[in-house]
Structure 1
Amino acid sequence: MRINRAVLPLLALIVSGCVGDDQSSNAESESARNFDYQGMMANYADNVILPEYRNFAEEAEALAQGPGSVASYCDRLYNPEGMADVERVRDQWRRAMYRWQRVELFQVGPLAANGGALRNRIYSFGSSAPLSQCAVDQGVVLAQREDFDLMTRSVNARGLDALEYLLFSEDLNYHCPSQINETQGWNDLPEQTRREQRCDYAQRLADDIEAASQTLVEAWEPEGGDYRFEWVNPANQEVNLKALSDALFYIELETKDRKLGVPTGINASCSAAACPDAVESPFSESSMRNINANLDAFLVGFTGGNGLGFDDIFVQEGFARVRDEFEDTIIKATAGTDYSRPSLLEETRAQAQSGSDADCRNAAANPDVHVGSACAAHGFVKRVTDRLRTDFITIVNLDLPERGQSDND
């Protein structure tokens, strides 16, 4: 490991004042050499990353097949009682999405390879090809052909976000320009026919998500691709540690900036009072639940669960107090995002209608007195990411990810 200890004594004085003057640079270097980095990476593989992947795979399987699944819902569409099952499959989608939102914090190895191809196949939010309602509508029609192959469809018509649209949107009309051939005549079909065809495509999506989740797990398993071996191999230690650190910056680049900052107008990417069209999971209105799951996973990503984690590097380097403060900040942010009403979509629509983001920016600056709003949630998460950019990066001696060199809010 490349270890630069020169700044640590100064950080100790500035941040926590908890390192004594008698701690020499030689002692610090010895401390770094004694830390079990290989054990830490093995703990992340065996007790954090793979369990998160497996948990999602189980929910993805339940979403595709079995009680409360897409298959069960579609089978009963012909039954007068069939529509009663829509809430069951929606609940199962929410469970799968919650598990996926935890996985989002651990985009390393095969999940991040090839530009995140496997990740985008499962969920394309934040990618270069986010959900397109028109692309999904086209897929619904094309899936009726015998030669249809889902693998030919772009990720903007697949994954959990496309499935959300099909399961939660009550608008059965197409959302394509009139010149798109595939959807011409769709609105004239009987409602039951449209529901059945949408359900057929939803089943294909659910099956593909399940298959992709199994591919992800198998890529790490010793009897599969055995990426675990590459992950814990000491020769790859520095690269993999940096990859894990970069993955945790999802909490800043996606959770804070994209999921909260853009819809609320706090991030410079939104030039209006608010941008509700940028809200994640708009059909299920589960955006805040997603954000809460991100923070839950971030805490596990920092601590390594019950085993060796980044927090132990803090302690090893003499920054136990900073570690405690950081964890407390994460816990407070998690509590500050744990609500569902008003939904983020409702809140940002109201803000956009008001034409002013002044109250939002005040809430973000003073989240403790505005708990229960998305703007306050942004403030809570920013406290976490501010520490991530300073305390975390300095103490674990790693660089900011390339995409995180600037902060727009």
Structure 2
Amino acid sequence: MKQVLFFLLGVALISCDSGSNESTDDNFDRQAMLVNWADNIIVPAYKNYEGEVDALEAQAVVFTNAPTEESLATLRAKWRSAYLAWQWVAIFEIGVAETNGLQGYTNMYPANIEEIESSMLSGSYNLELPSRRDQQGFPALDYLIYGLASSDAEILAKYENNAYKTYLTDLAKRLQTLTSEVVNDWESGYRDTFVNNDGSSATGAVNKLTNDYIFYFEKHLRASKVGIPAGVFSGTPDPTDVEAYYASDFSKELFNEALACSKAFFNGQHFGSTQTGEGFKTYLDYLNSISGGTDLAQQIIDQFAAIESTSSSLTSSFSQQVESNNELMLNTYDELQKNVINFKIDMLQLMNVKVDYVDADGD
């Protein structure tokens, strides 16, 4: 994924960053919120994602053993299912997901096609190197199963070369390895570490995951999925910058899934269920009840509805949308930006949480 250079604090950030490093002791049960996040949202979502990645890896082996139109179609279906499942865990860049660089190795787009071809055909590559992040993950698989040629017959012909087979299975295995590291971490002790780190300091789990949530919404959902291809930062729209560029009808579905996850997590909604527990909404409701201020939680929920309404008119292919009617992409970006402000200024100020990252894209 294209990265924005983060080196200056915006004026708005400075205005909400003048407090201390500690959150106000407001008596809200942070541990109950962390338990809900861990047990009902994060771990179940990661387990689901792990299952989808396992299925993708298994089908990659099936396909490379017998490259046919049928096995290619099944591989594409498994890739899509796993990519959708990824949207439900991409927010949670904490614990091993942070230390092993899960986000960068999984979904950096656009993929570097020239380097992929060079590495693949040379047979010399190390996917653990940070410099290889744009040559792997879902974007690289997108290229290998959709973008190698203009027809399925021509794509299958490419797999007569064992170099393509090896690279494909290596990419799928790499996703599987990274994912299992994260799931094993949560299940072998990190869950308890996370839940028990319920203090109000900058290193507390609530503060860290709150920052992760806002960073994801701002940089990955708002900027990378919409703003960058729409030319918000460069001034020049680029249809090749969209997520799932080669599977051209899939970018909106990925966006919708990521938006649904962001909304569900705000509401404390259990993964795969309509049931809700402690989360940002209940925390803000509690803070509003003792401060008598604006109903920020409802304001955020209403803005999610506005984002959904505006983005519903986007075509299934964001690359086609950029080329045919980029104004709608820009309008969607603007609606997303309103919740960035709600989160980054108003919610953090009410929760007295400091921003722990720096940006320079004019927020």
TM-score, structure 1 normalization: 0.71
* Distance change >3 Å, CA 389–CA 151, structure 1 → 2: closer
Cα distance in 2 for partners of 1:388, 1:220 equals 27
Report 1:93-104 matches (<5 A).
93-104=79-90
Asked if 1:135 corresponds to 2:89, the answer is no
Residue 329 of structure 2: aligned partner = 374
In the alignment, what sits opposite 2:342? 387
Q: 1:150 to 1:311 in 2, by over 3 A?
A: closer
Equivalent position to 1:72, from 55, 62, 65: 62
Cα shift at 1:382: 1.9
Structure 1 Cα separation of the partners of residues 329 and 226 of structure 2: 7
* Partner Cα separation in structure 2 for residue 198 and residue 340 of structure 1: 34
How many angstroms does 1:169 deviate by? 0.6
SS at structure 2 position matched to 1:304:
coil
Question: Offset at 1:150?
Answer: 5.0
**Counterparts of 1:253 and 1:169, CA distance in 2:** 26
Instruction: Give the C-alpha shift of residue 170 in structure 1.
Output: 3.4
Deviation at 1:233, TM superposition (A): 1.7
Mapped contact 1:301–1:309 kept (Cα < 8 A)? yes
2:241 aligned partner: 278
- CA, structure 1 residues 310+74, in 2 after alignment: closer, same or farther (shift >3 Å)? same
Corresponding residue for residue 309 of structure 1: 279
| Residues 334, 151 of structure 1: alpha-carbon distance in 2 compared, 3 angstrom cutoff | same
C-alpha distance in 1 between matches for 2:78 and 2:52: 8
Contact kept in structure 1, 2:106 and 2:138, CA below 8 Å: yes
- Separation in 1, partners of 2:317, 2:45: 26
1:92 alignment partner AA: K
Tell me how many residue pairs correspond in the alignment: 322
Question: Which region of structure 1 is more displaced relative to structure 2, 101-110 or 318-327?
Answer: 318-327
Cα distance between partner residues in 2 of 1:168 and 1:380: 32
- What fraction of aligned residue pairs are identical, expressed as a percent? 21
**1:217 Cα offset (Å):** 0.3
- SS of corresponding position for 2:88: helix
Residue 181 of structure 2 is aligned with which of 195, 208, 215?
215
1:293 counterpart letter in structure 2: E
Secondary structure (helix, strand or coil) at the match of 2:235 reads: coil
Distance in 2 (alpha carbons) for counterparts of 1:403 and 1:194: 47
Shift of residue 230 of structure 1?
A: 1.7
Q: CA deviation at 1:288?
A: 2.1
Match in the other structure for 1:60? 53
Contact 2:230–2:330 (CA under 8 A) maintained in structure 1: yes
**In structure 2, C-alpha distance between the alignment counterparts of 1:150 and 1:252, rounded to whole Å:** 27
Alpha carbons of structure 1 residues 193 and 121: separation in structure 2 relative to 1, 3 Å: closer
Which amino acid in structure 1 is aligned with residue 254 of structure 2? Answer: N
Is residue 398 from structure 1 mapped to residue 361 from structure 2 by the alignment?
A: no
* Alignment partner, residue 256 of structure 2: 292
* Distance of aligned partners of 1:260 and 1:197 in 2 relative to their CA distance in 1, 3 Å threshold: same
The equivalences for 1:25-44 within 5 A come to 32-33=26-27, 35-44=28-37
Structure 2 runs not aligned, ≥5 long = 1-23, 270-275
- Structure-to-structure mapping, 1:5-404, within 5 angstroms: 32-33=26-27, 35-65=28-58, 69-77=59-67, 82-113=68-99, 117-125=101-109, 131-143=111-123, 151=128, 154-171=132-149, 191-192=157-158, 194=160, 196-221=162-187, 224=188, 226-234=189-197, 238=201, 239=203, 240-249=205-214, 250-267=216-233, 270-272=234-236, 274-285=237-248, 286-305=250-269, 306-317=276-287, 318=289, 321-338=295-312, 341=315, 343-350=317-324, 360=326, 363=327, 373-404=328-359
1 CA distance for matches of 2:126 and 2:354?
A: 42
Query: Whole-Å Cα distance in 1 between the matches of residues 118 and 200 of structure 2?
Result: 45
Check conservation: 1:86, 1:167, Cα contact below 8 A.
yes
Task: Quote the offset at 1:43 in angstroms.
Answer: 1.3
- C-alpha separation in 2, matches of 1:262 and 1:122: 19
Quick check: 1:264–1:375 contact (8 Å CA) kept in 2?
Answer: yes
Counterparts in 2 of 1:196 and 1:149: CA distance versus 1, 3 Å: same
Residue 131 (structure 1) shift: 2.6
SS of residue in 2 equivalent to 1:283: coil
Q: Relative to 1, partners in 2 of residues 1:252 and 1:396: Cα closer, same or farther, differing over 3 Å?
A: same
Which of the pair has more CA radius of gyration? 1
Distance 1:331 1:71, change over 3 A: farther
Change (3 A) 1:277 1:401: farther
TM-score normalised by length of structure 2 = 0.79
Shift, 1:193, TM fit: 5.1
The 1:102–1:337 alpha-carbon spacing in structure 2 relative to 1, beyond 3 Å, is: farther
Q: Are 1:332 and 1:380, in contact at CA under 8 Å, matched by a contact in 2? A: yes
Does the CA contact (< 8 Å) of 1:52 and 1:103 recur in 2? yes
Which consecutive unaligned segments of at least 5 residues does structure 1 have? Answer: 1-28, 173-186, 352-359, 364-372
Structure 2 Cα separation of the partners of residues 338 and 161 of structure 1: 24
The one-letter code matched in structure 2 to 1:205 is L
Task: Provide Cα deviations, 1:329-385, integer angstroms capped at 9, x if missing partner.
Answer: 11332354346625111122346xxxxxxxx5xx4xxxxxxxxx3233213212222
Structure scoring higher RCO (CA < 8 A, sep ≥ 6) equals 2
User: Is residue 244–residue 251 contact of structure 2 (8 Å, CA) maintained in 1?
Assistant: yes
Using the alignment, how far apart are the partners of 1:251 and 1:379 within structure 2? 13
- Contact 1:230/1:236 (<8 A) preserved: no
